[in-house]
């Protein structure tokens, strides 16, 4: 096989990432791989059928598509995006995922932070669902142009995710483990149920909607949940309203001291999270065990806004600091101190350190902390 041919079968969910969902004791490294939109085939007697049972496939076969990242210019074929761009992205992303999957409180690694956000952004955009999103937003039907936009947007969600409340959750005590889908970076918003206008044509609710949670399984037993501060402070408002300062293309501040750890998920919580993963997948999901592929069978209710009592992805608000401004001191070269408020706004920007807004959020946040404690 020529070298160029070796890079034409493109994994939009990398095989190394898939391996993290097969536990070490599993000898046969294969998934139960389910097609949610099975094609019709005809048997030897001419009768039509749909393949409804999962295939037994390994990571080398799952979540891959020929020439997804190959560019064409006349007779010229280039595999540089797969070979060079995603080769470097996956190498750095793998190390970042490993760091956060094994994260110890108060450990600081800026490279692991930035590379995880970059990897998550590209993992969200590199899937068939993500590439279709780019095509619609940029109004182009050219796959070459879409791939150019993909590379330009590799830090697109950075500011929104850095300013979120981070919680690492654990499924070790649950018999059910996390599944993996063809769109692993999942956005859940209780106001954006499947079939709503935010989710039509394969769309996801935007991460910068106030009530949106970004959910990213790091392995079969570990996951990262990112919640917008505005929703943690006031979960009684409109979840589809944009959070303050929703512009993602800007600088932001992250505090390692605020990362929440230690939440052990109950069985029903893992199953509900798998239901969300399955609901937001485009076509394929995979799991170590077949029954994990059908979370809807084990849930008492699949009401979208009431999963987990409506608090499924919510961090513990009692551990969220009610911060206001972040100030970096003066620099050695004489530059003045830099100031951001909790939503990344700078002095002179509209609503910077909005006291009225902060007073309202203080009241609702205290009320929510009390409600959370009672629940």
Residues 284 and 309 in one domain: yes
Radius of gyration for the chain, computed over Cα atoms and rounded to the nearest angstrom: 22
- Identify whether the C-beta of residue 342 lies closer than 8 Å to the C-beta of residue 229: yes
pLDDT value of position 249:
86
Average confidence score pLDDT of the chain: 92
Q: Which of 14, 62, 52 is nearest to 288 (CA)?
A: 62
The verdict on 116 and 233 lying in the same domain is yes
Q: Are residues 313 and 331 in the same domain?
A: no
Q: 303 and 343: one domain? A: no
Question: 311 and 336 in one domain?
Answer: no
pLDDT at 322: 85
d(CA 214, CA 20): 19
Specify the pLDDT at position 158.
94
Q: What is the C-alpha to C-alpha distance for residues 319 and 263, in angstroms, rounded to an integer?
A: 12
Residues 239 and 123 in one domain: yes
| Per-range mean pLDDT, top range of 35-39, 147-151, 248-252, 319-323 | 147-151
For residues 106 and 257, is the Cβ–Cβ distance under 8 A?
Answer: yes
Residue 70, pLDDT > 90, answer yes
Q: Are both 257 and 338 inside the same structural domain?
A: no
Residue 286, H or E segment: strand 284-287
What does the DSSP 8-state code read for residue 242?
Answer: B
Does 173 share its domain with 303?
Answer: yes
Q: Is 143 found in the same domain as 58?
A: yes
Q: Which of 278, 304, 319 is the last residue of a domain?
A: 319
Backbone angles phi, psi at 278, to 5 degrees: -65, -40
Q: Are residues 114 and 164 in the same domain?
A: yes
Domain boundary residue among 319, 342, 358? 319
pLDDT tens by residue, 189-239: 999 999 899 998 888 999 999 999 999 999 999 999 999 999 999 999 999
Average pLDDT over residues 23-49: 83
Nearest to 192 by CA among 173, 212, 178, 174: 212
Q: Are residues 330 and 348 in the same domain?
A: yes
> Coil, strand, or helix at residue 206?
coil
In degrees rounded to 5, what are phi and psi of residue 11?
A: -85, 115
Q: How confident is the model at residue 46 (pLDDT cuts 50, 70, 90)?
A: low
Q: Of 300, 319, 338, which closes a domain?
A: 319
For residue 162, give its domain range.
Answer: 3-319
User: In the prediction, which pLDDT does 347 show?
Assistant: 84
The CA–CA distances, whole Å, from 307 to 155, 271, 300, 301 equal: 30, 10, 10, 8
Name every residue whose Cβ is closer than 8 Å to that of residue 1 and which is 6 or more positions away in sequence: none
Question: Does 252 share its domain with 354?
Answer: no
Specify whether the CB–CB gap between 195 and 132 falls below 8 A. no
Domain count, the chain: 2
Q: Which of 84, 96, 90, 91 is nearest to 13 (CA)?
A: 90
Distance CA 333, CA 79 (A): 45
């Amino acid at each position: 096989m020529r070298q160029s041919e070796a890079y034409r079968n493109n994994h939009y969910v990398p095989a190394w990432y898939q391996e993290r969902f097969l536990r070490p004791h599993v000898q046969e490294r294969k998934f139960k791989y389910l097609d949610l939109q099975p094609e019709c085939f005809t048997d030897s007697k001419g009768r039509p059928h749909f393949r409804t049972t999962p295939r037994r496939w390994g990571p080398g076969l799952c979540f891959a598509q020929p020439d997804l990242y190959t560019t064409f210019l006349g007779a010229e074929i280039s595999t540089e995006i797969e070979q060079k761009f995603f080769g470097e992205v996956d190498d750095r992303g793998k190390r970042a995922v490993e760091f956060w999957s094994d994260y110890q409180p108060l450990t600081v690694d800026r490279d692991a932070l930035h590379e995880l956000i970059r990897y998550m952004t590209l993992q969200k955009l590199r899937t068939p669902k993500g590439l279709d999103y780019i095509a619609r937003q940029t109004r182009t039907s050219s796959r070459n142009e879409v791939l150019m936009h993909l590379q330009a947007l590799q830090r697109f969600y950075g500011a929104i995710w850095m300013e979120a409340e981070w919680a690492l959750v654990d499924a070790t005590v649950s018999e059910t483990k996390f599944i993996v889908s063809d769109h692993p970076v999942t956005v859940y918003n209780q106001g954006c149920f499947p079939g709503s206008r935010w989710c039509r044509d394969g769309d996801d609710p935007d991460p910068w909607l106030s009530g949106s949670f970004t959910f990213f399984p790091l392995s079969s037993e570990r996951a990262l949940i990112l919640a917008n501060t505005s929703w943690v402070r006031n979960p009684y408002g409109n979840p589809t309203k944009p959070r303050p300062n929703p512009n993602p293309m800007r600088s932001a501040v992250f505090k390692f001291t605020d990362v929440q750890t230690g939440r052990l998920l109950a069985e029903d919580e893992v199953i509900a999270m798998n239901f969300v993963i399955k609901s937001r997948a485009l076509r394929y999901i995979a799991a170590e065990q077949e029954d994990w592929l059908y979370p809807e069978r084990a849930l008492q209710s699949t009401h979208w806004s009431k999963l987990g009592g409506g608090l499924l992805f919510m961090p513990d608000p009692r551990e969220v600091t009610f911060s206001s401004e972040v100030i970096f001191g003066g620099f050695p070269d004489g530059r003045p101190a830099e100031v951001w408020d909790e939503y990344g706004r700078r002095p002179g920007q509209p609503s910077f350190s909005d006291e009225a807004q902060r007073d309202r959020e203080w009241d609702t946040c205290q009320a929510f902390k009390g409600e959370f404690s009672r629940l």
